[in-house]
Amino acid sequence: MKLGVIGYGNRIQGVIQQMMKEDASCQIAAIADIRKQEIQQQRLPQLMDTIFRDTPEEMIASTQLDGILIGTRCLLHTEMALKVLPTGIPLFLEKPVATTMTDLLRLKARGAQTQTPVVVSFPLRVTSIVQLVKEIVDSGKIGTVEHVQAINNVPYGGVYFHNWYRDEALTGGLFLQKATHDFDYINHVLQMQPVSVCAMTSKQIFKGDKPAGLKCVDCNENRTCEESTAFAAPDIRDHWAYCSFAKDTGNEDSGSALFYYENGMHVSYSQNFFARKQAASRGARFLGYKGTVEFDFNTGIVKVFMHHTPRVETYQISAEEDHFGGDRMLVSNFIELMQGRGTSVSTLDDGLISALQCLKARESAETRTFQTIGWE
């Protein structure tokens, strides 16, 4: 199966490696990337027979492809998707599907006009742990879900302040970068629509008066700063290069959102980017009248607490790599779509609603107002 790639970034490279593990017939037939000379000079074995094109249009027009994967910087996801959707070729689209409301509306309109199969890169919804939680919720064991408490304390949060992720013009902010995954798996479990949001962000840690553009290796405090990457391994030092306390360091370092859902219940979500080591936590509690089910991706533990009996059930999910095993499920699904079988497990509509939640949460935090989650 011949793959076309628009934007051969690190994330999409990992997805393709997983795809080749699942099915050796998957080959990278063509790449459109502004860094094509740099990529070619690396002489990667998997790219020995790959054709490099100057533009996505040229790649699509000149190469017979079974699937296309978009791995550009986030602000280009929509623009590239709009070039692919009219072709009908199955599309693997990195999240977030859009970083502005204008792009989101454009993508929604074009998506409604085509039948192109799309898999949005939402691996958390298809992990073994979320599927177990959904199975428990769907069984009725805890009753209907009446409240959700979700958190994401990110132990590698420095990545959002040391490199290109610090530029909010490229990423759209940290709700779109991280929370989009969590909002999606919550929606997947609940099978309900959010209708309004109130959100807040704070920047308490990663701020300062160091010169813009300062790198850790050039800082006179790099031996005492807890965030210094000057003496880290080369792959960290080179990619996490910039000072987290400089004037040009973007992004909030914590954020929270309250979502009101169509049936009257609400979800609370909070994310943090300066928690470290054992403080790491990512998961949620789904509370019904009969019981509560909670889980944490980092521990792989799911617990069910019954409210009216002393019973507690505990499940241990074996550790899996690549987004807790979710990447493997996504690429298997995408392979099926390229073969003309099955349906998407993570649709464009799923990507659209999650991005809408993030954009509305961002607007709520910026304006200190409640925001309606709708398309008008």
- 270: domain CATH number is 3.30.360.10
Is residue 91's pLDDT more than 90? yes
Judgement on whether residues 205 and 335 belong to the same structural domain of the protein: no
Q: For residues 114 and 217, state if they share a domain.
A: no
CATH number at 30 reads: 3.40.50.720
Q: Do residue 363 and residue 222 come from a single domain? A: yes
Q: How far apart are CA 80 and CA 286, in angstroms?
A: 37
Alpha-carbon distances, residue 359 vs 2, 174, 251, 262, 280 (angstroms) = 35, 10, 15, 19, 25
pTM for the predicted model, two decimal places: 0.95
The number of folded domains in the chain is: 2
**H or E element, residue 62:** helix 56-62
| Distance from C-alpha of 186 to C-alpha of 204, rounded to nearest angstrom | 28
* Full residue range of the structural domain in which residue 12 is found: 2-123+327-347
Pairing of strands 91-93, 118-120: parallel
Task: Let me know: does 69 contact 6? Beta carbons within 8 Å.
Answer: yes
Residues 113 and 135 in one domain: no
Same domain (yes/no): 309, 160: yes
- DSSP of 203-215: -SSS---BPTT-B
For residue range 99-123, list pLDDT tens digits in order: 999 999 999 999 999 999 999 999 9
Q: Are residues 82 and 227 in the same domain?
A: no
6 and 134 together in one domain:
no
Return the residue matching tokens 């409640």.
370
The whole-number pLDDT of residue 372 equals 98
Between β-strands 51-53 and 67-70, what pairing exists: parallel, antiparallel or unpaired? unpaired
- Going by C-alpha positions, the residue among 202, 372, 346, 329 that lies closest to residue 271 is 202
**Does one domain contain both 108 and 138?**
no
Percentage of the chain beyond pLDDT 90 is 93
- Pair 311, 333 in one domain: no
3-state secondary structure (DSSP) of residue 82 = helix
Nearest Cα to 74, choosing from 56, 55, 93, 96?
96
Specify whether 270 is located in the same domain as 132.
yes
Residues 136 and 56 in one domain: no
Nearest to 327 by CA among 135, 166, 110, 95: 95
| 127 and 212 Cβ atoms separated by less than 8 Å | no
Predicted confidence at residue 208, as pLDDT, reads: 93
What is Dmax (Cα atoms) for the chain? 65
Summarised one tens digit per residue, pLDDT across range 296-334 is: 999 999 999 999 999 999 999 987 777 788 999 999 999
The closest of 274, 266, 210 to 243, measured between CA atoms, is: 210
How many residues belong to the chain? 376
Average pLDDT across the chain, whole number: 96
The tens digit of pLDDT for each residue in 267-278 reads 999 999 999 999
pLDDT at 235: 87
Q: Which two tokens stand for residue 346?
A: 């993570």
Same domain as 205, residue 82: no
